Every structure is written in structure tokens, then in C-alpha cells.
Structure 1
Amino acid sequence: MRLVLSNVGPIREAEFNLSGVVFLYGPHGAGKTAVARALSVASRVLGRGSVEAREAVSLINRGAEKAVVELGEHAVELAWRHVAVKTGWLERRLEGDIYTGVGVADIPLIWVRDGVRLFGTETDGVYSFSRFVEEVLPAYDALEEALDFVNDVLGPAGFQLELWGDSYTQQTAVVFRGEDGEEYEEDAVSEAVLKLAQAAAAAVAARRMGALLFIDGVDLLQEEYARRLFAALSKLEVPALVEIHRADLLGGRRCYLLKNGGAEPC
């Protein structure tokens, strides 16, 4: 799938080929996170036809009149609405329909950031890891596969994921079990272990849902953990964009360098 951005955040014009795992690399402020924000807006507009005006226009490049997000054969245009005021000048306002979707598509996005974020689905929202496992994965019949996949990725980190069910309260609980046999809730494991689990579970959900996957925050991972995660993502064959700041983690993988308002293959 092809992604083209015009006047989105600091990006003036950029094109990306979204197949397999693709890395976005570049300095802070080059537009890596703007790509994820553009995808989240586009997935909601194409899927439901709506998004908050303030969020949409905040993506438009400063000084530009409109931004365009092309995703495959579909496109979303974000534009200011000009309103005449008594002084005779035109004023830019956030009111009204400032977005138009060309075509209708169901292209959801899963963004692994602080938690797991869903866009363009009936279950839009930000989920803690445990809530994502308990509520979202079963809805797509992806729970068993996700648990196996997560545990394969977590192996080198010395943890396994377990899901406990209480037949009396009908509630479930997600716990991490360390090599010492101790149980840990998600707020008691390291950020790196939680990031591994989030990314792995989200990847399985993305494949089942036909969603795009965007992952950031992988820079906190040890090199061994990061490479194992990237290899696992490649095996799933799910379209994934990974925001990264560390060149040592690229290892010859397919990436785009964002700089000077554009993007070019690394």
C-alpha cells in the first residue's frame, strides 16, 4: 500500500511504500510522529467520515492552506475554512467540514505508544495492555494466537504472559511470570518488557483486523530484544511502521530517512 503525505506537519511531500516492516528514521521534529497522526486521522475519516476539526487542522503544515493524506486508492484532504468578517478580511476558522474523504475504506490503525491506541474501528480508544488483551483480542478471535506470539517474543526477556480467568466474577487478569516463578502485573514489569508485549499483541490484532501498525518507543529496548521483535513482525507479514532514533537498530532493514520536509530511502 502506498502512503503519500502533502503539507502534513513538517513534511512538505513524502511517499512511503507500506509493505512489511518499514522504519522511520531521522532527527527530532522531522515528522516521524506526524506520519502516525496523519494515518490516525485518515483511518477515521475513511472509515467513519468524521474526526475532530482541531485535530485535523493541527496537521496542516504551517503556512499551507491544506494537507492531503493518500492511502492506497483513497485520499483525505484537510483544509482551513475561510470565513469573511466585517473588516473585509478572510479569517481561518476551525468550524464546519474541513475534511473530505475520497472513497470509503475500512483501514484501521493500531498505534503502540503509551498503551495501545485503536483508530478507525468500533472500539476506538486508548487501551492499557491488560484491557487490550481482555477486551479487543477476543473480539477478533486473536487471543490464543496473540498469547503464543507474545510469549515467543518475551522469551529472551525472561518473562511469560499468562491470562487468568475467574469463573465466579467472570473477570480475567493478565500477569507476567518471571523466570523465578513470581507473578507481576503490567505496572510492575519494566517499560521494555511491556513494550515488547504491547507490540507483539498489537501485531497479531493488526493482522486479524487488516489494520496498519505503527510502533514508537522501541529505542528503549536492548538490541537483542529489538531485533527479535523486528524478526517476529516480519514473519507475521503485517504492514508496520516503526519510529526509531537509533541507527544501530536499523541493521540494513528497509527504512525511510525523514529530513528537510521530505523522506528518502535510507
Structure 2
Amino acid sequence: MPTDQDHPLLEITDAVRGYGRGTSAVTALGPLDLRIERGEFVVIVGPSGSGKSTLLRLVSGFERPSSGTVSLDGRAPVPGDDVGVVFQQPRLFPWHTVNGNLNAALRWAGVPRAQRAVRRAELLERVGLAEVGGRHVWEISGGQQQRVAIARALAGRPSLLLLDEPFAALDALTRERLQEDLRSLTDGAEQGAVFVTHSVDEAVFLATRVIVLSNRPGQVTLDLPVPLPRSGVSADDLRASAEFARLRGDVSTAVRDTLRTPA
């Protein structure tokens, strides 16, 4: 009998996504081929309009490709099934406490009521918020709210985590801290992750692999492995290393090349 290990976690084959008809038709993405294995942290970079968010909608099952296929764990993705999503804004329920937000996510994930308190505590511990469960959303900082959003996305133990510019609205210091926390959180994780950003530094710091998309329609112009150590070195030393600078330069060059190409 086939198992999950007989196919990649995510496989996109010759996928195209277009909108509209006739003279108003626009191809936003593709043709695109992409494979992501379990445990990979893949960061997508590209200019505005390159189809980054369209790609996430296809992978999450909120949209279907106009042609080609998208397969998650060997089947077409279904919204809310095996995928956790973190948006640019936390989108938490402001009338609930942090615990209440996680309880809702655990209920939707089908976690039995008797197990929710333990699972909720595990999630808060995992994102470094063990002491804030009883606070309302408006009583915690923006960075803490985004940690809650990540915990919520992990509530159903998804096989794939999708993050659409989750740190873009945060100040620089909070953003760096959350990058470091997310890197540690996903180190050695069994699930895969796809993270969208406009920041080359963020991409190289977080990724095990960086994908650069072209101007519309988005196609892969660079697929770059990032062989930086995931543990045993400080974030400051990692960012200051020659290898980090080399990789950042490769990605920056690829992004600049896409900007020189007319959309």
C-alpha cells in the first residue's frame, strides 16, 4: 500500500492560474513546476504581481489551477485540511482571550474537548507565550498576536504551514526576533513550510530553499538551496557570515533581474 513517503509533500506540475476571459484574460501564474519535501522550509520571493499569493491559494485549496495539477500528500488540497495558514495580519477574534482563540482552532481541528487544555498549553509553550493565555487579544503586542496566529495555524498538526508575509507589518526589531523564533520552531519539524516575503534577508535567514518568481505570469527563475546551519550558531553570527552574504547576493541578483524584465 502506498504511504506518504512514496511522494513529495507538495507537487505542482505544469500549473497555470488565469483570471478573466477573452481580451480581459490575465495569466497570473505559470506554467509552474515545484516539489517540496517534508521538513523543507521554502521561501518564495518575487516582485509585486508575480503570483506569490496566488500560489499560496492554489496550495491551500482555496483556488484551483486553470490547468496543470497541485497535489498535497498525493491528493488535491482541500481548504482547512492538512494546511495551516498565517496571514500578514493575525486575524484573531478580539472578543476572545488567547486561550479562546486557540480553543476555537482546536475545535475546528477536531481535537476532543478533554484534550484541548493540554494541547493549548503545548502550543503556547511552543511559541513562547506560556504566560499569556488568559489575556485578551487587545492586551498583547502585535508580535505576540502573530505568535498566537502561528500557534493557531499549528493547532491541527498540519502537514504544510503557509505563511503570507506574516511579519511585514511589524517593526524591525520585533520582525528579527520572530524570524529567529520561527527558525527555531521549525528546525527539525516534520511538516513543510512555504513562506512568502519581499525581503531577501528574511528569505535567506529562514529558508532551507529560496524560490524566486518572475514578473507576471510568475515562473521560477531561481531555485536555490540554502545550506546554512539550522542550529549551533547565533542569529547574529549567521547574518554576518560570508555564506549568508553570498546567498543574499545570489537572491538579490535574481530579484533585480526580474524587475528588469517587463511584466
Question: Gaps (5+ residues) in structure 1?
Answer: 43-55, 61-65, 77-103, 118-126, 163-173, 176-184
Change (3 A) 1:39 1:144: same
Change (3 A) 1:107 1:153: closer
Q: In proportion to residue count, which structure has more helix?
A: 2
- Which of 64, 82, 94 is the matching residue for 1:108? 82
- 2:205 is aligned to 251
Change (3 A) 1:130 1:34: farther
d(CA) in 1 for partners of 2:167, 2:11: 22
- 1:265 is aligned to 223
Question: Match for 2:12: what amino acid?
Answer: V
TM alignment of 1:56-75, pairs within 5 A: 56=63, 66-72=66-72, 73-75=74-76
Q: Helix, strand or coil for the counterpart of 2:53?
A: helix
2:25 counterpart of 1:16: no
2:131 counterpart of 1:160: yes
Task: Give the structure-1-normalised TM-score.
Answer: 0.57
Q: Helix, strand or coil for the counterpart of 2:84?
A: strand
Change (3 A) 1:145 1:35: same
d(CA) in 2 for partners of 1:227, 1:252: 8
d(CA) in 1 for partners of 2:79, 2:182: 29
- 1:144 is aligned to 118
Q: Helix, strand or coil for the counterpart of 1:33?
A: helix
- 1:215 is aligned to 163
Instruction: Please tell me whether the aligned partners of residues 58 and 70 of structure 2 are also in contact (alpha carbons under 8 angstroms).
Output: no
- 2:227 is aligned to none
- 1:92 is aligned to none
C-alpha offsets along residues 210-242 of structure 1, whole Å, 9 cap, x if unaligned? Answer: 442211222334212211122212343222211
TM alignment of 1:42-81, pairs within 5 A: 56=63, 66-72=66-72, 73-75=74-76
C-alpha offsets along residues 95-125 of structure 1, whole Å, 9 cap, x if unaligned? Answer: xxxxxxxxx99943221224469xxxxxxxx
Instruction: Please tell me whether the aligned partners of residues 16 and 29 of structure 2 are also in contact (alpha carbons under 8 angstroms).
Output: yes
Instruction: Please tell me whether the aligned partners of residues 147 and 161 of structure 1 are also in contact (alpha carbons under 8 angstroms).
Output: no
2:208 counterpart of 1:237: no
Q: What's the offset of the Cα at 1:187? A: 2.0
d(CA) in 2 for partners of 1:234, 1:12: 30
Q: What's the offset of the Cα at 1:248? A: 1.6
- 1:187 is aligned to 138
d(CA) in 2 for partners of 1:194, 1:105: 23
d(CA) in 1 for partners of 2:104, 2:144: 21
2:12 counterpart of 1:4: yes
Question: Gaps (5+ residues) in structure 2?
Answer: 1-8, 19-27, 225-263
CA RMSD, 1 decimal: 3.4
Task: Give the structure-2-normalised TM-score.
Answer: 0.57
C-alpha offsets along residues 168-217 of structure 1, whole Å, 9 cap, x if unaligned? Answer: xxxxxx42xxxxxxxxx2123222221122113422x242xx44221122
- 1:40 is aligned to 60
C-alpha offsets along residues 54-81 of structure 1, whole Å, 9 cap, x if unaligned? Answer: xx5xx66xxxxx33332143358xxxxx
Q: What's the offset of the Cα at 1:36? A: 1.7
Q: What's the offset of the Cα at 1:23? A: 1.4
Q: Helix, strand or coil for the counterpart of 2:128?
A: helix
Count of residues in Structure 1 that have an aligned counterpart in Structure 2: 184
Question: Match for 2:132: what amino acid?
Answer: L
